[in-house]
Amino acid sequence: MDANFWHSKWERGEINFHISEANPLLVKHFEELHLTKGSRVFLPLCGKTRDIAWLLACGYRVVGAELSELAISALFKELAIEPAISTVGKLTRYSAKDIEILVGDIFDVSAENLGPVTAIYDRAALVALPASLRAQYASHLTRITDAAPQLLISYEYNQLLIDGPPFSVSADEVKQHYGAAYQVKSIESRNVEGGLKGKVASTESVWLLQKIASSSAEEIVQKQLDAYNARDMDAFLATYADEVALFRFPNTPSATGKEEMRKNYTARFSDTILHCIIVKRIVMGNTVIDHERIRVTLPEGPGVMEAIAIYEVLNGKIAKATFISGKKTPGEKL
């Protein structure tokens, strides 16, 4: 699938994906973004969606990106607005009061020519792209918007039964693309009445994505270390995902879920000399690797254990931790 696919769709008027009113899921859930009037909302691959008219009527400013100039010419005609047209690098800019659309390849849209945005509404972009482009798109969108809060709509169905677009994007894939930068929350999931394209059973889901601070992976791991040293079980477990998976390197499971962790760590936290220091820490994206020295009570008395801990953080919680045990030495000096 390339640009010619979409240009041909618009040229032939094959736009069954276009609906004549604002998307009911947008109307129902837009308030989840908690935006003030005048906020600037980005719609990637917007087409001539009626969602734009709804957002303008509600007092928001709109910026969009769209491949087809035919679609944007039709959009402004339907809005009864005469746009100013200019060239911005490889893109064509259509602009008027409270609305601006960049026409061209979404991957040519930069943070500079997009400008600051308050939020993203993605109804038709992620699901319009084949699997080979979705990771690149999600990364690009996150970068040019500085991970602005996002309302995302996706579909999930058996992709073997019909061709996209819209393509099937599973919950796991949404989290895979956005989990490192966002807290990902499902706010509604419903069956598509009559099936997608009238052919296949499908679920339509609405996601709320809220930015995680870039340093949060390290902060979360540090919070769990602080709670560990304070032997505060509740605060310690609060830094972990409900379905956290713990492993002994390389892939031997040692615990699954916080309740199993609680059982495993209860005896450890009763050790009055327990304390851990970090010899070295490496942070890369949502992964934190700690070289640890831990003072504990060994069977033969006080001692120090060495360990490597590899933490993977998703949606603001430690989702996976892998431990490599090192040498044990007698004595209390760390």
Do 29 and 93 belong to one domain? Answer: yes
* 66 annotated ligand binder: yes
* 54 annotated ligand binder: no
- Given 166, 196, 211, the domain boundary residue is 211
Instruction: Kindly compute the dihedral angle of the four CA atoms of residues 125, 130, 136, 139, in this order, to the nearest 10 degrees.
Output: 40
- Given 211, 239, 273, the domain boundary residue is 211
Do 205 and 221 belong to one domain? Answer: no
Do 206 and 226 belong to one domain? Answer: no
* 12 annotated ligand binder: no
Do 249 and 123 belong to one domain? Answer: no
- Given 193, 211, 229, the domain boundary residue is 211
Do 326 and 205 belong to one domain? Answer: no
What is this structure's pTM?
Answer: 0.66
pLDDT band for 285, please (50, 70, 90 cuts): confident
- Return the pLDDT at 1: 54
- Return the pLDDT at 315: 79
Do 73 and 46 belong to one domain? Answer: yes
* 219 annotated ligand binder: no
- Return the pLDDT at 251: 93
Do 172 and 321 belong to one domain? Answer: no
CATH classification at residue 275: 3.10.450.50
* Residue 45 C-alpha from the chain's centroid: 18
Q: Average pLDDT of the chain? A: 91
Do 93 and 190 belong to one domain? Answer: yes
**What distance in Å separates the CA atoms of residue 38 and residue 309, rounded to the nearest whole number?**
46
Nearest to 148 by CA among 114, 125, 109, 119: 119
Do 157 and 269 belong to one domain? Answer: no
Domain that holds residue 273: 216-330
CATH classification at residue 58: 3.40.50.150
Instruction: Let me know if 206 is exposed, middle or buried by CB neighbors in 10 A (0-12, 13-18, 19+).
Output: buried
Nearest to 255 by CA among 245, 242, 263: 245
Give the model confidence (pLDDT) of 298-322 as tens digits: 999 999 999 999 999 987 899 999 9
pLDDT at 18 over 70: no
- Return the pLDDT at 39: 96
